[in-house]
Structure 1
Amino acid sequence: MSAQNAQRHQAEELALMLSDFGMQRMSARVMAAFLFTEKPSLTLGELAEELDASQGSVSGALKTLHQVGMLERVPVPGSRRDHHRLRRDAWERLYSRQNEVVRKMMAAAEEGIAATGEDSPARERLQEMYDFYNFMFDELPLLFDRWREKRGSQG
């Protein structure tokens, strides 16, 4: 098996594992493509061709990965197409308040708390969900600082 074929195989294995753990299949394949690419950025068309998938399904996956903060759009002089790349801080964003999905979950918990009665079991569960995320987000900056320090000392 050539090195390129081995790399593609490993990307598909990673995508399969991510989808087994709950990530939508095409989002997992797109994520794996960004992790394994040698290019600084990829376009929708390049991804669709690489993954042998429709541009519509790839577009939906790109939207999802942008929403959770894993990808960013980057300018490419002379190109009219949108170029995307894995954010340098992708893993921090995935586990931070910058993750759009988590922000929406916290907002939904707050609204649910406001809509439930004072002694409601639902309110208790929603409050615990909100309190958990709030606690984690208060603690995460310290871990991120340690991570950046470790990453900096390795580079």
Structure 2
Amino acid sequence: MTHDEDVALFIERLGTTLTSLGMQRVPARVFAALMADEDGRMTSAELTGALRLSASSVSGAVRYLSEMRMIHREREPGTRRDVYVVAQDQWHYTLLGADQIYGRLKSAFAGGVAAVGGADSPAGARLETSVRFLDFITTEMKGIAERWEALETGS
């Protein structure tokens, strides 16, 4: 197998893994392609060609990945072309972004406790447990991110 064939196979395998974990198929493949790219930077045209996707599919995928803070867009110096970039430490940013998602989910659960009959009702108790769990996860994720940063910087 050639190097390019190995990379293409890896992209499909990682894309399939991410899809099985709940990510939409096209964003999963786009993310996998960016992770496999030597410098983690690709234009829309490069992604379209590498993955044999339509420009509109790539556009939707990069919008989704940007909203999830898994990639970001940069302007290529001296051109009008956008380049999509996966950060070297993108998992750190994804983890921190998940904190915002958990916060919104926690607020929704907390707001529902009274609506379902209070914390003494079975539904209210489940919602309260969910609020406590999300508080725990949020605290732990901050600690994980701090420990990762210390590990990466050698401090």
For normalisation by structure 2, the TM-score amounts to 0.82
2:16–2:25 Cα contact (<8 Å) kept: yes
1:26–1:57 Cα contact (<8 Å) kept: yes
2:95–2:145 Cα contact (<8 Å) kept: no
1:127 alignment partner in structure 2: 128
Gaps of 5+ in 1: none
Write the distance in 2 (CA, Å) between the matches of 1:82 and 1:111: 41
Instruction: Name whichever of 131-140 and 28-37 sits farther off.
Output: 131-140
1:75–1:83 Cα contact (<8 Å) kept: yes
Instruction: Name whichever of 111-120 and 134-143 sits farther off.
Output: 111-120
**CA 1:7–1:40 in 2, change beyond 3 Å: closer, same or farther?**
closer
Gaps of 5+ in 2: none
- Across the aligned residues of Structure 1 and Structure 2, the Cα RMSD in angstroms comes to 2.2
1:143 alignment partner in structure 2: 144
Write the distance in 2 (CA, Å) between the matches of 1:36 and 1:14: 10
Write the distance in 1 (CA, Å) between the matches of 2:44 and 2:107: 31
CA drift at 1:20:
1.8
Q: 1:95 aligns to what SS in structure 2?
A: helix
Residues 77-106 of structure 1: CA deviation (Å, up to 9, x unaligned):
12223222112332123223x235444433
Residues 48-72 of structure 1: CA deviation (Å, up to 9, x unaligned):
1111011222222212211221111
**CA 1:62–1:104 in 2, change beyond 3 Å: closer, same or farther?**
farther
The total of aligned residue pairs comes to 152
1:44–1:58 Cα contact (<8 Å) kept: yes
Instruction: Name whichever of 45-54 and 109-118 sits farther off.
Output: 109-118
1:55 alignment partner in structure 2: 55
1:14 alignment partner in structure 2: 14
Using the aligned pairs only, state the percent identity: 33
Residue type at the aligned position of 2:54:
S
1:68–1:101 Cα contact (<8 Å) kept: no
Residue type at the aligned position of 2:29:
R
Counterparts of 1:51-130 in structure 2, within 5 Å, are 51-96=51-96, 98-99=97-98, 101-113=101-113, 115-118=115-118, 119-130=120-131
